[in-house]
A and B are shown apart, each in its own frame.
Chain A
Amino acid sequence: MADYQSAFQISASGMAVEKLRLDITTANLANMNSAAPSAAAAYQPLRVVSQARPLEFARQFGLALAGGGASVQAVVPQPVAPRLVYEPGHPYADAKGMVAYAGVNHTSEMLNLNAALRTYEANVAAFAAARSMAARTLELGGKQ
């Protein structure tokens, strides 16, 4: 079963990355209406930067790709301007009566959410394929 563990681990790394992407998107959506005392202090939407895990040269031509997969390189803030709303009565309103809200792009966050979900599903499908391949192998020579 050791040769299938590499496929499982690669799928697991993809799932971990997509799970973090979901967490970050959820955080962005949760802070969509968070106000801040100044434009500089407004919540900045975050973005996950993932990267292929480097494979060793010898392993690229071998059968076992253990150590491959994806990994999170960084979670970086997106350089977007805060959303300024005119609300004179707001405790965080500045001299002109403007309040700085987080500049979260609702549409792109929903798209990120869907993309993360679909990619996670694809990783689950790849895992299921590896698992059923292993299970089929165990049926070799058995009574049909």
Chain B
Amino acid sequence: MSTEAIAAIGAVEPSVAVGVPQLANQGAVAAPGFADWVAHEAAQVNASLAVAENDVRRLATGQVQNLHEVMIHLEEAKLSFQLLAQVRNRVLEAYQEVMRMQV
């Protein structure tokens, strides 16, 4: 009975051994993509912040035709920054979850 149980473990082992490298490979492929995405999003948020800042400067110097466009650009910049902050929170949360794992 005990040898059968050991044999059963042996039968399971290869599938586990195959499964782990696949996951590791997927992670290795996906990681630069995500980093690129984060960099791209951060650049976009920076651009919208720059637009909002420029609008505020033009408002201060009296070159603005319509006030609501400035406010809408400010809101857009705020929302895109909040999106970036939320993505950062989720990633950090996942990282901390992994670090807390008992090995």
Contacts and interface: CB of A to CB of B under 8 A. Distances in A.
Size bin of chain B's contact surface: 10 to 19
Contact of B69 (A1, A12, A134): A12
A12 B80 contact: no
Contacts of B66: 15-16, 19
B64 interface: no
Interface string B65-103: 010110010011001101100100110000000000000
A59 B16 CA distance: 49
B81 to A, nearest CB: 10
What's the dominant secondary structure at chain A's contact region? helix
Given A142-B86, A142-B89, A134 B68 contact: no
B89 A131 contact: no
Say which size band chain A's interface belongs to: 10 to 19
Given A8-B76, A142-B86, 16 more contacts: A1-B76, A1-B79, A1-B80, A4-B79, A5-B76, A12-B68, A12-B72, A15-B68, A16-B66, A19-B66, A19-B68, A135-B82, A138-B79, A138-B83, A141-B90, A142-B89
Interface of B: 66, 68-69, 72, 75-76, 79-80, 82-83, 86, 89-90
